[in-house]
């Protein structure tokens, strides 16, 4: 272990160390001034972004390849740290309203973000596993953060924990089998063994499938998605916002790196299955969302369907000509999804009442008249999630579908386009209720929340009109050092 | 006389499947938690068996990571189960099904 | 004008889009604090300035006839894909934007008056500003569509106008059947259009796949090299988009329902501009369509059949705006048929002429509706809930009560019927002449449609403006203020003299468009076709007159032929009125028996109504309700119900039991494993 090694892992080290320090500092912060803890948490993530920005396009390896750094990891880390900051901003007022103000919330959030940040840099299966647990365990606790007053929060935490641990079991066993087949757990080394001829391809394939199941659970693709609606529904909304973006981005970071740098040949063998999972996810997520009355459950199915859109990139990376485009399309989509989705959750948080009500879609009636700004923002987010131009979501979908067509998966592209047409049905229902029915929604207005909404709405709009800079960033991934 | 690696693997496979079935079949939260532990430990067994076959240390080191993470999970899980027992009076997992649809 | 000055003028092109956006931004932020008059003026001025900018582009094009590409900013640049925000200024886009901006300006001005009345009568003055914000947004999106330099930017405009249409159809969302009728109409429009958009999207992907570019020039340059199969596929999917946006078979169902929006919306979006976007798309992609003859034939056939079908439906409608809606579909069918036959100039010519006279007809119908509504208000009646101010059976005799409206309506109606020298005659004749040369079938279909067109518009004019008022409201109807009538007069002038654009032998529009379009065919003026279509138009009007105009006071078309002599006869009729009064008063029973039972009941009612009219009406009603509602709506509704059924079935799978969820994960794993097993064993 050298200073250079530590230097590469600096973003993770800062967030994790800061979380430990904050845990102690928080003891000395009085209960009525927990805003300070929130501010310190944001500062910590701000510090962590400095090394990321300074070495954005550098390509480094540390700890014998266990930690890697490239454009891919930098892009994701920046996204994840941003998501962390926004989650704090969303949570601050919400916690007070639900009367669950505790400094530990921000510490746990920081720990979870540190797991996500580590996941972006994971170059070894064991780091993938550690990062995944570091990401998940705080989320289990956060899901149950309102358990005292709300039995649903308790239930959500329990379900998430049991199923999450179950999925981790698959991942660990999968790692063990991969290790057995190749003699190593380092992702690039696995690939080297694979191309020089692996003795037991069956063992390796089974291991890869087990890992796929575990990670598929984290990103919530069908049929590993069943936990999502219940957990998203029961967990405090501010936690759900973080889960729906952060955990998903972390899961996809591992999936993409593993299947591109680790075993693309196996991905090629599994291509029909991957296509099937993507198609099934798109269909199930988008159709099941139609029957939902609760907006949190609707957004849960929406998040499943968006996982399906990104999952379409997995069978596409098999072709090494298309892989660069597939990776950048997935990164870009993750980014615009994060922006629009966090914005939508911001609106949901603004409308949620202290007693936990205000979450039915009918509660949005009359928002267009009462609070035109908020309604306009929500309409923008919904349009972006549908993929209507010129919002960011359109550009994102455009690139995804282009990659899918480049990879000659026309059937999958058709499923994607048709399901996004179907998705217009349930997203627009929110818009219709907001503008075309009268009602008396109770809206919470607060500085941090409003700032978040402005930022995400602006982002959704501007990324639709000037996606160029972000696309450039997303396309300079360095492909984990595969391309010089 | 050394035991062939395949024997270990077979045992580990059986343990893993037992763990999975335990999660699927049992209703007691604590037993489910134990079944998950069984899954993790069957992986540990596989790691060690492979490490012995390769005569390398990596596999053995990995086991420590898995054990540590498993302990963390158990800590979280048990505290949740305690909390649920306090509020509901039982730990039957099928009773925890208010969220659905 | 030197080259530098021309370049400077071209640099102004983005303002065509920017002005409406500025207007909407101003109204968005300070509109609430401004008076209605100011809000309307800002919105109208924004569109007016856009028109002026388009005029400057027109001037600049005189020097640079090939057109120019005006770069605004880079949009997407990744790998091989380079898409910019760039405007394509050429004779086609300038002709379109002049028409759109011009008509929009007039309709904006009209809407200041109309919406003032409308928000007052419907009881929500706060919506005035919102209406103009949507309206400016629409113009901006339409301009993006027209001036787009690539398919992706065009798609942005395409979706934008669709969104505005959706918002404006549902503008009075709490009104309509059961209080949600208008909202449902909006949703129907949006969903139907999404099907069309799906076609556009797929076509766009195919284009990019084949040509590696989405920019018009690059695609068209390499079009010849592509295979016929792929071009046919591309154009077929584009056609699907066209049928959605331009309301052709099979996706025309949304347009009649779209009349739920305020009348200026119907005039601007659902008659003059947005619905013509499909035709514009075909003309823009004429290079592709020319290379795919199979699709072109299909386009022509769809257009012609739509024209005939919609015209026959229009005959059986009683809602004044619905007649016009079906008429719009029918006329769009003419344009689609024209571009399908390769007569691009004729299509664009009719598009422009139609924009003039149909906007005029819609705005005049709005004027009629508001006149009747005000009449209802003034007559002191209280049946506001049940009275339908759009039902033509409640009207009659408005000719004398709303003079300006009547005259402009007549001009619009005659232009639609194809009476020379009004705009519709020349443009429709050019299409018919093209059809007669290329395809007898299309020609016959279109000619039949043209006869019906003359008939239904005649029927409408006679029912609304002639005869006796059929309700108290109609009897008290009053003319609207000048802010509404002045734009009507301006549009009437355009509808009357719009034919000048492309007079036979002069062919100014042909020459202008030839600068952009390569495949312009010169169609010689065909005297026989022109004469025939004129005679048919007259015949249609005459039949309408015979059936609907036989109320005693309805003699207006005769005035055109008889001049002063007619005035004299009209005075004589005053005597008749006296006699009527006398007889009806004194010898009511006798007169009733003689006039009503023997003559009218038997001859007129039985022969006309029962035999001719009722059979005809029944068959058209079958088309309107049976075909339209049951077959196509049924398919759409059943699809929606099926998806909702699946959705609720999926809900029941979500049981809430953790162990079921774990089982689902395990089940997924089993499927993956068995796939591997099969793969390894084979």
Only one residue has tokens 């239904």, namely C456
Percentage of chain C beyond pLDDT 70 is: 82
Q: What's the mean pLDDT in C622-645?
A: 59
- Does B19 have pLDDT greater than 70? yes
What confidence score (pLDDT) does residue C598 get? Answer: 43
Chain A residue with minimum CA distance to B6: A180
What confidence score (pLDDT) does residue C626 get? Answer: 47
Q: Which domain holds residue B22?
A: 5-95
Q: Which chain B residues are within 8 Å of C656, Cβ to Cβ?
A: 97-101
Residue among B16, B98, B100 whose CB faces A173 most closely = B16
Which residues neighbour C124 within 8 Å (Cβ) at sequence distance 6 or greater?
none
DSSP-based three-state secondary structure for A56 = coil
- Does C552 have pLDDT greater than 70? no
B10 close to A (CB below 8 A)? no
Task: Please count the structural domains in chain B.
Answer: 1
Closest CA to A105 of A18, A14, A34, A12: A34
Establish if B11 belongs to a structural domain.
Answer: yes
- How far apart CA C639 and CA C110 sit, in angstroms, is 40
- Does A444 have pLDDT greater than 50? yes
Q: Which chain C residues are within 8 Å of A472, Cβ to Cβ?
A: 77-78
What confidence score (pLDDT) does residue A47 get? Answer: 94
Establish if B79 belongs to a structural domain.
Answer: yes
- For C365-422, the pLDDT digits (tens) are 988 888 888 888 777 766 666 777 888 877 888 888 888 899 999 999 999 998 888 8
- How far apart CA A164 and CA C293 sit, in angstroms, is 58
Given pLDDT bands bounded at 50, 70 and 90, which one contains residue A238? Answer: very high
Residue among B33, B58, B81 whose CB faces A185 most closely = B58
- Output the 3-class SS for chain A: CCHHHHHHCHHHHHHHHHHHHHHHHHHHCCHHHCHHHHHHHHHHHHHHHHHHHHCCCCCEEECCCCEEECHHHHHHHHHHHHHHHHHHHHHHHHHHHHCCCCCHHHHHHHHHHHHHHHHHHECEHHHHHHHHHHHHHHHHHHHCCCCCCCHHHHHHHHHHHHHHHHHHHHHHHHHHHHHHHHCCCEHHHHHHHHHCCCCCHHHHHHHHHHHHHHHHHHHCCCCCCCHHHHHHHHCCHHHHHHHHHHHHHHHHHHHHHHHHHHCHHHHHHHHHHHHHHHHHHHHHHHHHHHCCCEHHHHHHHHHHHHHHHHHCHHHHCCCCCCHHHHHHHHHHHHHHHHHHHHHHHHHHHHHCCCCCCCCEHHHHCCHHHHCHHHHHHHHHHHHHHHCCCCCHHHHHHHHHHHHHHHCCCHHHHHHHHHHHHHHHHHHHHHHHHHHHCCCCCCCCCCHHHHHHHHHHHHHHHHHHHCCHHHHHHHHCCHHHHCCC
Residue among B20, B93, B100 whose CB faces C655 most closely = B100
Instruction: Give the residue from B7, B69, B93 with the most A CB atoms within 10 Å of its CB, the best one to mutate.
Output: B69
Which chains would you list as touching C if contact means 3+ CB atom pairs under 8 Å?
A: A, B
* A390 upstream amide cis, omega within 30 of 0: yes
Chain B residue with minimum CA distance to C653: B101
**The dihedral sign for the CA sequence A75, A79, A81, A82:** positive
- Does C495 have pLDDT greater than 60? yes
Number of alpha carbons in the 13 Å side-chain half-sphere of residue A289: 30
Closest CA to A431 of C138, C258, C160, C183: C183
- For A170-223, the pLDDT digits (tens) are 999 999 999 999 989 999 999 999 888 877 888 999 999 999 999 999 999 989
Chain B residue with minimum CA distance to A137: B73
Q: Is C571 exposed, middle or buried (0-12, 13-18, 19+ CB in 10 A)?
A: exposed
What confidence score (pLDDT) does residue A244 get? Answer: 94
Q: Which chain A residues are within 8 Å of B19, Cβ to Cβ?
A: 169
- How far apart CA C519 and CA C345 sit, in angstroms, is 10
Which string of DSSP letters, residue by residue, matches A16-41? HHHHHHHHHHGGGS-GGGTHHHHHHH
- How far apart CA A371 and CA A375 sit, in angstroms, is 6
Q: Which chain A residues are within 8 Å of C672, Cβ to Cβ?
A: 209, 212-213, 270, 273
Q: What's the mean pLDDT in C207-228?
A: 86
- How far apart CA C435 and CA C447 sit, in angstroms, is 10
- Does A305 have pLDDT greater than 90? yes
- For C565-601, the pLDDT digits (tens) are 334 333 332 333 343 444 344 444 444 444 444 444 4
Chain C residue with minimum CA distance to A287: C647
- For A389-420, the pLDDT digits (tens) are 888 999 999 889 989 988 888 889 989 988 98
What confidence score (pLDDT) does residue A100 get? Answer: 87
C649 close to B (CB below 8 A)? no
What confidence score (pLDDT) does residue C382 get? Answer: 62
Residue among A166, A424, A436 whose CB faces C173 most closely = A436
Q: How far is C653 from chain A, CA to nearest CA, in Å? A: 9
Per the CB < 8 Å rule, is A176 touching B50? yes
- How far apart CA C366 and CA C370 sit, in angstroms, is 6
Q: Which chain A residues are within 8 Å of B57, Cβ to Cβ?
A: none
Q: What CATH number does residue B30 fall under?
A: 1.10.287.3510
Contact C111, C136 (CB under 8 A): no
B33 close to A (CB below 8 A)? yes
Q: Which chain C residues are within 8 Å of A166, Cβ to Cβ?
A: 662, 665
Q: How far is A241 from chain B, CA to nearest CA, in Å? A: 18
- How far apart CA C108 and CA C40 sit, in angstroms, is 7
Closest CA to C613 of C552, C549, C544: C544
Percentage of chain A beyond pLDDT 90 is: 62
Only one residue has tokens 């005799």, namely C397
Q: What's the mean pLDDT in C605-634?
A: 51
Residues C534, C539, C543, CA angle at the centre, nearest 5°? 155
Contact C232, C294 (CB under 8 A): yes
- For C106-145, the pLDDT digits (tens) are 999 999 988 887 776 676 767 888 889 889 999 999 999 9
Establish if B10 belongs to a structural domain.
Answer: yes
Q: What are the counts of helices (DSSP H) followed by strands (DSSP E) for chain A?
A: 22, 2
- How far apart CA C460 and CA C314 sit, in angstroms, is 10
Per the CB < 8 Å rule, is A432 touching C183? yes
- ipTM of the prediction greater than 0.90, yes or no: yes
Which residues in A have their CB inside 8 Å of a CB on B?
A: 126, 129-130, 133, 137, 140-141, 144, 147, 151-152, 154-159, 161-162, 165-166, 168-170, 172-173, 175-177, 179-180, 183-185, 229-230, 233-234, 292, 297
Structure token digits, residue A7:
């230097």
Cβ of C309: how many Cβ atoms within 10 Å?
23
DSSP-based three-state secondary structure for C520 = coil
- How far apart CA A236 and CA A233 sit, in angstroms, is 8
Establish if B101 belongs to a structural domain.
Answer: no
What confidence score (pLDDT) does residue A231 get? Answer: 95
Higher model confidence: residue C568 or residue C459?
A: C459
- How far apart CA C467 and CA C395 sit, in angstroms, is 9
């Amino acid at each position: 272990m050298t200073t250079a090694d530590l230097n590469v892992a600096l973003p993770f080290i800062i967030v994790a160390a800061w979380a430990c320090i904050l845990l102690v500092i928080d003891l000395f912060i009085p209960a009525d001034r927990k805003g300070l803890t929130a501010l310190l948490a944001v500062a910590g993530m701000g510090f962590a972004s400095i090394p990321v920005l300074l070495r954005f396009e550098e390509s480094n390896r540390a700890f014998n390849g266990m930690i890697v750094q490239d454009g891919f990891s930098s892009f994701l880390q920046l996204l994840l740290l941003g998501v962390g900051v926004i989650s704090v901003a969303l949570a601050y007022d919400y916690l007070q309203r639900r009367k669950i103000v505790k400094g530990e919330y921000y510490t746990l959030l920081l720990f979870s973000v540190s797991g996500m940040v580590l996941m972006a840099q994971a170059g070894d299966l064991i780091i993938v596993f550690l990062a995944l647990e570091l990401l998940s365990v705080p989320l289990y606790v956060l899901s149950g953060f309102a358990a005292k007053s709300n039995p649903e929060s308790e239930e959500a935490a329990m379900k998430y924990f049991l199923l999450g641990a179950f999925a981790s079991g698959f991942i660990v066993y999968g790692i063990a089998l991969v290790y057995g087949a190749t003699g190593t757990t380092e992702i690039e080394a696995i690939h080297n063994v694979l191309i020089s001829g692996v003795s037991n391809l069956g063992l390796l394939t089974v291991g890869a499938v087990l890992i796929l199941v575990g990670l598929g659970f984290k990103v919530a693709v069908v049929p590993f998605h069943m936990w999502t609606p219940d957990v998203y529904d029961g967990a405090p909304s501010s936690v759900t916002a973080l889960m729906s973006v952060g955990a998903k981005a972390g899961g996809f970071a591992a999936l993409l790196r593993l299947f591109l740098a680790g075993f693309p040949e196996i991905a090629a063998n599994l291509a029909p299955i991957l296509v099937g999972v993507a198609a099934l996810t798109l269909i199930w997520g988008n159709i099941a969302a139609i029957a939902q009355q609760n907006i949190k459950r609707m957004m849960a199915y929406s998040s499943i369907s968006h996982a399906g859109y990104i999952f379409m990139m997995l069978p596409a990376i098999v072709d090494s000509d298309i892989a660069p485009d597939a990776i950048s399309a997935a990164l870009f989509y993750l980014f615009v999804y994060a922006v629009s989705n966090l914005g939508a959750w911001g609106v949901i948080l603004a409308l949620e009442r202290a007693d936990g009500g205000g979450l039915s879609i009918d509660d949005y009636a009359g928002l267009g008249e009462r609070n035109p700004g908020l309604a306009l923002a929500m309409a923008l987010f919904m349009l972006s999630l549908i993929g209507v131009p010129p919002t960011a979501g359109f550009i994102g979908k455009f690139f995804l579908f282009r990659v899918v067509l480049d990879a000659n998966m026309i059937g999958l592209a058709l499923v994607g386009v048709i399901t996004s047409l179907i998705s217009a049905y349930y997203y627009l229902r929110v818009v219709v209720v907001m503008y075309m029915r009268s009602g008396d929604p109770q809206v919470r207005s607060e500085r941090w929340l409003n700032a978040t909404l402005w930022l995400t709405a602006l982002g959704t709009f501007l990324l639709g009109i000037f996606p160029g800079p972000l696309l450039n960033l997303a396309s300079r991934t360095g492909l984990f050092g595969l391309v010089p | 006389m050394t035991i062939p690696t395949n024997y270990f693997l077979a045992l580990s496979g059986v343990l893993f499947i037992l763990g999975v079935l335990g999660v699927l079949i049992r209703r007691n939260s604590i037993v489910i938690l134990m079944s998950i532990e069984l899954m993790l430990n069957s992986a540990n067994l596989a790691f060690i068996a492979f490490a012995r076959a390769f005569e390398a240390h990596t596999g053995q080191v990995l086991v420590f990571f898995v054990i540590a993470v498993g302990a963390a999970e158990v800590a979280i899980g048990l505290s949740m189960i305690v909390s649920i027992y306090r509020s509901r009076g039982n730990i039957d997992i099928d009773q925890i099904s208010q969220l659905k649809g | 004008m030197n080259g530098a000055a021309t370049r400077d003028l071209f640099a102004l092109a983005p303002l065509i889009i920017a002005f409406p956006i500025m207007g909407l931004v101003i109204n968005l932020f300070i509109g609430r604090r401004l008076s209605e008059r100011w809000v309307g003026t800002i919105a109208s001025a924004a569109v007016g300035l856009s028109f002026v900018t388009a005029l400057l582009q027109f001037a600049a094009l005189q020097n640079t006839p090939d057109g120019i590409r005006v770069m605004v900013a880079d949009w997407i640049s990744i790998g091989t894909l380079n898409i910019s925000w760039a405007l394509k200024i050429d004779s086609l886009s300038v002709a379109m934007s002049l028409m759109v901006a011009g008509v929009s300006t007039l309709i904006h001005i009209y809407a200041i008056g109309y919406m003032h009345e409308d928000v007052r009568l419907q009881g929500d003055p706060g919506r005035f500003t919102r209406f103009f914000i949507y309206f400016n947004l629409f113009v901006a999106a339409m301009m993006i569509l027209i001036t787009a330099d690539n398919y992706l930017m065009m798609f942005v405009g395409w979706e934008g106008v669709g969104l505005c249409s959706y918002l404006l159809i549902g503008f009075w969302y709490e009104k309509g059947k059961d209080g949600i009728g208008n909202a449902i109409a909006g949703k129907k429009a949006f969903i139907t259009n999404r099907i069309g958009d799906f076609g556009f999207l797929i076509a766009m992907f195919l284009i990019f796949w084949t040509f590696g570019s989405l920019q018009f020039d690059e695609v068209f340059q390499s079009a010849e090299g592509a295979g016929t199969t792929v071009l046919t596929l591309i154009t077929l999917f584009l056609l699907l988009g066209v049928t959605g946006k331009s309301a052709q078979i099979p996706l025309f169902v949304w347009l009649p329902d779209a009349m739920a929006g305020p009348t200026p919306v119907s005039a601007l979006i659902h008659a003059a501009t947005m619905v013509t976007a499909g035709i514009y798309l075909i003309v823009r992609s004429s290079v592709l369509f020319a290379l795919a003859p199979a699709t072109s034939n299909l386009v022509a056939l769809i257009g012609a059949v739509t024209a005939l079908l919609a015209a026959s439906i229009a005959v059986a409608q009683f809602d004044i705006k619905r007649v016009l809606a079906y008429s719009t579909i029918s006329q769009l069918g003419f344009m689609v048929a024209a571009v399908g036959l390769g007569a691009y100039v004729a299509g664009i010519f009719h598009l422009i002429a139609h924009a003039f006279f149909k906007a005029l007809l819609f705005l005049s119908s709005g004027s009629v509706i508001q006149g009747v509504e005000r009449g209802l208000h003034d007559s002191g009646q209280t049946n506001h809930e049940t009275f339908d101010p759009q039902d033509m059976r409640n009207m009659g005799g408005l000719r004398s009560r709303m003079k300006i409206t009547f005259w402009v309506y007549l001009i619009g109606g005659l232009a639609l019927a194809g009476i020379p020298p009004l705009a519709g005659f020349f443009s429709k004749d050019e299409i018919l002449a093209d059809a007669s040369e290329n395809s007898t079938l299309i020609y016959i279909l279109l000619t039949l449609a043209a006869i019906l067109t003359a008939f239904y518009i005649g029927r409408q004019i006679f029912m609304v403006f002639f005869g006796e008022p059929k309700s108290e409201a109609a009897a008290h109807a009053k003319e609207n203020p000048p802010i509404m009538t002045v734009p009507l007069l301006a549009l009437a002038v355009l509808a009357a003299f719009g034919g000048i654009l492309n007079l036979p032998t002069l062919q100014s529009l042909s020459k202008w468009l030839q600068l952009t379009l390569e495949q312009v065919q010169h169609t010689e003026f065909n005297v026989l076709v022109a004469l025939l279509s004129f005679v048919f138009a007259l015949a249609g009007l005459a039949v309408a007159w015979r059936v609907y105009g036989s109320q005693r006071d309805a003699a207006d078309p005769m005035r055109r032929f008889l001049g002063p002599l007619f005035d004299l006869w009209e005075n004589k009729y005053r005597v008749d009125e006296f006699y009527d009064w006398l007889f009806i008063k004194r010898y009511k029973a006798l007169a009733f028996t003689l006039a009503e039972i023997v003559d009218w009941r038997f001859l007129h009612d039985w022969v006309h109504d029962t035999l001719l009219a009722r059979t005809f009406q029944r068959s058209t009603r079958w088309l309107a309700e049976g075909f339209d509602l049951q077959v196509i709506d049924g398919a759409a509704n059943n699809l929606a119900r099926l998806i909702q059924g699946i959705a609720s079935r999926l809900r029941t799978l979500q049981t809430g039991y953790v162990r079921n969820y774990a089982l689902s994960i395990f089940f997924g794993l089993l499927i993956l494993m068995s796939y591997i097993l099969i793969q390894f064993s084979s």
